[in-house]
Amino acid sequence: MAKVTKIVEIANDDEDDDDIFGDEGIDALTGMALDEDDDHSSLRAVARLAKLVGSLPWFSAVGRKLTATEINDAEAYIAGIGFAEMQVAGVENWLAASGAAQAPDWDDDWWQAEQQMQNALLEQALTRIDEHDLEVALTHVSTRAGEVAHDHAAKMAARQGVTDPALLKVAAGAAAQAAYQAALVLAARGAEDEVADDAEDEHPFAIKFRLFEAGRLPLGATGSTFNLF
């Protein structure tokens, strides 16, 4: 139980948590912990993400016209998981989002690609972090994100007269999964990765999480379209 306590203590750190995947944020996270062992550094980053998800403006931008930056991020994300040919499409409102989430031609290949990438990160993270400690940290992040995001989704959808429990569950589940995947990116990266020259290209899951940070709700792929609410 000692390391579980350590995770909680790390989460109480008062350092700035903004833009955890930004150019400065990710360096600041690991830069502060370069003198620590790898598993402590990674768990510290995951714990700080758990703090961040509780204060994000979940779904605050849904329904608005997509910005050029958001489109670029969405294109970078889908290209990163192997679907560069897909087109990004904006979803207009919560009712349309409900239809997109229940579309019969939902792309299972996209889901499989994410799972493979997720499993690869998990395997990498387990080379540096104890399995139990990692599970506790990831569960805390995803649970926190799902709870907060569900509340936000309920409030935002209610403003448009939508109270569909299934849609709210989809929104909260997507947020929880995105937070889990973002935490895996942090967990899989050790201190030696961060001091590398410019590190590797930004991970698709980090880009995807940034869309949620911007108040958007990625709804996945249907046919040749990636739906972004």
**Digit-coded pLDDT (tens) for 4-31:** 333 333 333 545 444 455 443 333 333 3
* pLDDT confidence of residue 16: 47
Residue 39: pLDDT above 60? no
Quick one: average pLDDT of 197-207? 72
Say which amino acid occupies 152: H
* pLDDT confidence of residue 2: 34
Q: Please give the residue that has the higher pLDDT: either 37 or 160.
A: 160
Alpha carbon distance 2, 168 (integer Å): 36
* pLDDT confidence of residue 98: 83
Quick one: average pLDDT of 25-45? 51
Domain count, the chain: 1
pTM of the model as a whole = 0.80
By the 8 A CB rule, do 81 and 204 touch? yes
* pLDDT confidence of residue 104: 63
> In angstroms, what CA-CA distances link 129 with 29, 112, 146, 185, 225?
17, 25, 24, 13, 37
Q: Please give the residue that has the higher pLDDT: either 53 or 1.
A: 53
* pLDDT confidence of residue 195: 37
Angle (CA) 183 136 115, round 5°:
45
- List the domain range (segments joined by +) for residue 96: 2-228
Q: What pLDDT, in 10s, does the model give residues 94-143?
A: 888 887 777 766 667 888 999 999 999 999 999 989 899 999 999 999 99
Lowest mean pLDDT among 64-78, 127-141, 191-205: 191-205
